[in-house]
Amino acid sequence: MDQKVPLEPPPAYDDGAQPTPPATAPPQTQPPPRQRAPLPLNLPALNMIRGRRVILASASPRRRQILAQIGLTDLEIIPSTAPEDLPKSLPPFEYVLQTAAQKARNVYTATIDSPQGEPALVIAADTVVSTHSGQILEKPRSEKDHIATLTMLRDQNSGWHKVYTAVVCMAPLESLADPGYAMETHVEETAVKFDQSVTDELIVSYVRTREGADKAGGYGIQGVGSVLVEKIDGTFDNVVGLPLRATLQMIEKVIVEPAVPDEVEEAL
């Protein structure tokens, strides 16, 4: 006689636990053929840093996966230790830019004189979700708060809200001119529209997957959270956490054509 297996309750928001994975399927007798990975981009900036020390100042696995798409797979992951305590009253554009710049400088300063040698490149980023009026949304604090956040995003402003990501790239200059590094910044904005026909039942069901429990705004568009989204206006990877096109352009600027500091330009 079959025995019913009780479903495990979802993990708490404050214990870092993960949902119980589903039962694994029986192994296949013949593994599917492997698809050949695309060759890496043959660009001067990427060739110049290949095999050198490239640091991602973020623990986000999503940002790491995005950077792997341009061949940056051998990254050092060194999250910033700087406190993220800027006031949420700042406009979202300024908040993410200041936070990302703070992360980049923190990690760059901590690693520039390390025994492993100075980094060839430091990449930092920060992403926030905001309401149409500019209110920055935190990560959910509880299941009740999570449900309320997603319900509000569905119901306010016809389902529209905004996602901002700031990216900062830093690389040391060969000259000793102050401040000793090249730095490029970029802030990207994407508007996201929740489907207003999404039911309360679906929101509760999504919340209990815990996919969005660790994400600002409470959802992951690259995963199951896509069922909440009707459309976007802007780049998809920006909503995930890193606008790749803009990031590549900044890498090219700080590696191939680093900007000369203003005080040096005036002396030339």
* Exposed e or buried b per residue across 226-247, where buried means at least 16 C-beta atoms within 10 angstroms of its C-beta: eebbeebeebebbbbbbbbebb
Question: Rounded to the nearest 5 degrees, what angle is found at the Cα of 207, between the Cα atoms of 204 and 209?
Answer: 115
Q: What gap in Å lies between CA 24 and CA 193, rounded to an integer? A: 35
Q: Given phi > 0 = left and psi -120 to 50 = alpha, else beta, which region is 190?
A: beta
Q: What gap in Å lies between CA 134 and CA 91, rounded to an integer? A: 6
Q: Which of 2, 85, 126, 195 is catalytic?
A: 126
Is 145 tagged catalytic?
no
According to DSSP, residue 194 is labeled E
Catalogue the active-site residues: 126
